[in-house]
Amino acid sequence: MQNKTISAYFFLAPALMAIFVFFFIPVIAAFIISFTDFDIYSLSNYGNARFVGFDNYLRLFYDPLFWTALQNTFYFVIVSAPLSIMVSLTAAIMLNSKLVKFKSLFRLNFFIPVITTLIAVAIVWRFIYHPKFGFLNYTLELVGIESIDWLGDPNFSMPAIIIMSVWKNFGYNMIIFIAGLQNIPEYLYEAAEIEGATGFQKFKFITIPMLAPTTLFVGIITMIGYFQLFAEPYIMTQGGPLNSTLSIVQYMYQEGFRWWNMGYSAAIAFVLFAVIMIGTIIQMKIQKNANV
């Protein structure tokens, strides 16, 4: 037995080494840095870095910009994660239906935004959102709604980012949902039909429970991904107007790689890590309880 364990570790060693060198060491280094005021002065002379204890974390606590960023990120995750999952699920169910023709064509179409580079997408959406010539406002005006300055108005900038990123990302989850749906045995639906179940009942009592593991996976992956919101606001609004789209990762990036306040930036990273971990634990707990 012992021999087996040793040889197992022997075979695992290369992978473990790589993980240790490229993952654990940087994480530990970052954790240590988060207790210092490592900055541009320290890059040339480590002696200029001071150990500051929990100062960075305390400063974060009193930093209004950090709270704004955290709030924005939560706003984004809470609205767009469920929204994106619902859109993905709806699209998956529709594409899985026997009535739909040209399935692969639609699947391809819905998946294209996922693989398109964000820069190209952002340029197109900037035109769509343009307050004067934008397609979205044009459509709204046809229905009689006054035009909205989507990216320029602090109240609408986050919804604009949400709409865009849901559109861009739902295709990925949709593919996973389609795979999940195809794994549900057909006979369950047939049996339900014989019992006289309606379409909604079938959805509620067969599709949803059978999809639970897929939904958990999709939910966690989406949440983790959305907590790391960065590229969309970075390209579309640079965090503005009035910091209404500043996300936590963007704030971390700015502090770390624009202003070189590495210590402070590392502290933000660990707070984000804690937030994501708590979110994942809660989600797993909920799912577990629902299954019991």
Partner 1 sequence: MTIFNKYCSQKLNLIFTFILLFLVGCSQNEQNMSEITFWGMGSEGESIQKLIPEFERLNPGIKVKVQMIPWTAAQEKLISAYASENLPDIFQLGNTWVPQFVALNSIENLDEFTSKSKIVKKESYFEGIWNTNEISGKIYGIPWYVDTRLLFYRKDILQKAGYNNPPKTWAEFYDVSKKIKQNIGNDDKYAVYLPVNEWAPFVIFGMQAGSKVLKDNDSYGNFSGAEFTKGFEFLINFHKENLAPIGISQVNNVYQAFAEEYFAMYISGPWNIKEFKRWMTGNLKDKWMTAPLPSPNSDSIGISLAGGASLVISKNSKKKDAAWKFIEFLSLPSTQLKFYELANSLPAVKTAWEDPLLQNDPYLIAFYTQFHSVVPTPKIPEWEQIAFSKLQQYAELAARNSLTVNEALKNMDKDVNIILEKRRWLLEQNNAK
Distances (CA, A) of 274 to 136, 158, 266, 279, 281: 38, 24, 13, 9, 11
Least distance (Å) between residue 227 CB and partner 1: 23
Read off the DSSP letter of residue 131.
Answer: T
Crossing angle of helices 64-96 and 262-291, rounded to 10°? 40
**Position of tokens 């197109």?**
124
Among 13, 16, 25, 40, binds partner 1 (CB under 8 A): 40
Total interface residues for partner 1 by CB under 8 A: 30
Q: What is the pattern of x (binds partner 1, CB under 8 A) and - over residues 210-239?
A: ----------------------------x-
37 touching partner 1, by CB under 8 A? yes
Residue 120 contacts partner 1 per CB under 8 A: no
Choice between 110 and 125, CB closer to partner 1: 125
CB of 238 to partner 1, least distance (A): 7
**Would you count residue 259 as binding partner 1 (CB under 8 A)?**
yes
- Of 26, 28, 29, 48, the residue at the interface with partner 1 (CB under 8 A) is 48
Is residue 258 part of the contact set for partner 1 (CB under 8 A)? yes
Helix (H, G, I), strand (E, B) or coil at 124: helix
Contact 137, 180 (CB under 8 A): no
Determine contact, residues 246/65, Cβ cutoff 8 Å: yes
Q: Which of 36, 39, 72, 89 binds partner 1 (CB under 8 A)?
A: 39
Amino acid at 266: A
147-166: contacts with partner 1 (CB under 8 A): 149-153
Rounded-to-integer distance, Cα 237 and Cα 167, Å? 17
Q: Which of 242, 277, 284, 290 binds partner 1 (CB under 8 A)?
A: 242
Nearer to partner 1, 147 or 280 (CB): 147
Measured CA to CA, the distance from residue 247 to residue 230 in angstroms comes to 7
Judge contact between 218 and 278, C-beta under 8 A. no
Residue ranges in contact with partner 1 by CB under 8 A: 37, 39-41, 43-45, 48, 50, 126-127, 129-132, 149-153, 238, 240-243, 254, 257-260
